[in-house]
C-alpha cells in the first residue's frame, strides 16, 4: 500500500509533534518533513513534494493562504490543509480562495483530522462546506461585486457568478442549513453542491489571476522604464508601452486560466 506523504508546518512544537504522533500510529501515512515556519516549509516542499502539506494559517513571515497559493500554482499535485486557532470568516475566506482543500482548527478531533487528510489526498475538497456559512456566502457575493471594475479592464477574463449561483449564495446568507436552502430554492441538493463547487473554482482561479495582475503592476515601472536611449531610464510610461505591457499580461492570464479550466 502506497503511503500518503505528509509535511507539517506549525510554530507550536507541541501541536506539530502531536499531529506527527497521531499520523505515526497509522499504516497509511508517512511524515516526510516538518518545520516551524511557512517560508521554510515552501522551500522544503519544493525540494521533496508530499501528497499533503499541513500548514499554519498565521505566520510571522508568510501566512498560510499566501504559501498555499504558491504551492497550488506551482505544484498542483500537493494538496494543502490549513490550520487556524479559530474559524474567523475573513481567514476562512482567504483559505478558500488560496486553493486549500480544507481548513481546520487546532481543537479538531484526531479521527476527524485523519479522515480529512485521507479525502483531501484523494482530491476531495471538504472546504466547500465552509460556503454554507452565511458570513462566508456574504463575503463571496461582495468579492464578485468588487471584481466587476477590475474585470472590465482585462476583457472579462476573470470569472463572474451566474444568476443561479447568486441565487444560491443569497439563500445561504439567510440560512446555512442545506434542507432549508433546498426548500427555499426548490432545487436538488446535488445541483446546489455542484454550483458551490463551481463557485469555489471561480474563487481560486480569480485569486490566482489577480495575484498575477498585482505582481505585474508592481513590476511595470521596472519593465517599461528599463534604460532606453543613452542608457538612461525614462521618466514616464507611454500609452503604447502600457498597451504592449497589457497585451503581454493578458496573454499570460489567458494561459494561466486555461491551465485551471
In this structure, the answer to whether residues 156 and 248 fall within a common structural domain is: yes
Range of the domain at 212: 134-260
User: How far is residue 20's CA from residue 33's CA, in Å, rounded to a whole number?
Assistant: 10
C-alpha cell at 40: 521554510
**Per-residue pLDDT, 208:** 85
The reported pLDDT for the residue numbered 219 is 60
151/120 same-domain check: no
pLDDT score recorded for residue 231: 46
Q: Which three cell numbers stand for residue 191?
A: 445541483
Same domain, 149 and 99: no
What is d(CA 172, CA 180) in angstroms, rounded to the nearest whole number? 9
Residues 143 and 32 both lie in one domain: no
User: Which domain-ending residue is among 99, 128, 157?
Assistant: 128
Reduce the secondary structure of 108-152 to three states and give it as a string: CCHHHHHHHHHHHHCCCCHHHHHHHCHHHHHHHHHHHHHHHHHHH
**Of 128, 159, 179, at which residue does a domain stop?**
128
- 32-53 pLDDT per residue, tens: 999 999 999 999 999 999 999 9
253/141 same-domain check: yes
Regarding whether 206 and 104 lie in a shared domain, the answer is no
pLDDT tens per residue across span 124-155: 999 999 999 999 999 999 999 888 777 676 66
pLDDT in the model for residue 229: 44
Identify the CA nearest to 132 among candidates 64, 187, 180.
180
For the chain, which residues score pLDDT lower than 50? 225, 227-235, 237
Please state, in angstroms and rounded to a whole number, the distance separating the CA atoms of residues 33 and 238.
50
Check which CATH number belongs to the domain holding 115 and give it.
3.40.50.2300
Q: Are residues 204 and 106 in the same domain?
A: no
Amino acid at each position: 500500500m502506497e503511503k500518503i506523504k505528509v509535511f507539517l508546518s506549525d510554530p507550536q512544537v507541541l501541536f506539530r509533534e502531536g499531529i506527527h504522533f497521531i499520523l505515526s500510529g497509522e499504516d497509511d501515512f508517512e511524515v516526510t518533513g516538518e518545520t516551524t515556519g511557512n517560508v521554510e516549509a515552501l522551500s522544503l516542499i519544493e525540494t521533496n513534494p508530499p501528497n499533503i502539506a499541513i500548514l499554519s494559517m498565521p505566520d510571522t513571515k508568510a501566512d498560510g493562504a499566501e504559501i498555499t497559493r504558491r504551492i497550488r500554482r506551482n505544484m498542483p499535485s500537493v494538496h494543502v490543509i490549513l490550520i487556524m486557532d479559530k474559524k474567523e470568516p475573513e481567514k476562512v475566506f482567504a483559505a478558500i480562495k488560496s486553493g486549500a482543500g480544507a481548513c481546520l482548527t487546532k481543537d479538531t478531533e484526531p479521527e476527524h483530522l485523519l479522515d480529512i487528510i485521507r479525502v483531501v489526498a484523494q482530491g476531495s475538497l471538504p472546504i466547500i462546506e465552509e460556503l454554507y456559512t452565511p458570513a462566508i456566502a456574504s463575503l463571496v457575493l461582495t468579492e464578485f461585486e468588487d471584481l466587476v471594475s477590475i474585470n472590465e479592464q482585462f476583457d472579462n477574463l476573470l470569472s463572474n457568478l451566474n444568476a443561479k449561483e447568486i441565487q444560491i449564495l443569497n439563500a445561504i446568507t439567510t440560512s446555512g442549513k442545506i434542507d432549508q436552502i433546498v426548500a427555499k430554492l426548490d432545487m436538488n441538493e446535488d445541483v446546489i453542491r455542484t454550483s458551490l463547487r463551481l463557485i469555489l473554482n471561480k474563487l481560486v482561479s480569480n485569486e490566482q489571476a489577480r495575484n498575477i495582475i498585482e505582481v505585474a503592476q508592481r513590476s511595470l515601472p521596472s519593465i517599461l522604464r528599463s534604460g532606453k536611449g543613452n542608457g538612461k531610464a525614462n521618466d514616464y510610461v507611454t500609452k503604447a508601452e502600457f498597451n504592449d505591457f497589457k497585451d503581454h499580461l493578458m496573454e499570460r492570464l489567458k494561459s494561466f486560466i486555461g491551465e485551471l479550466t
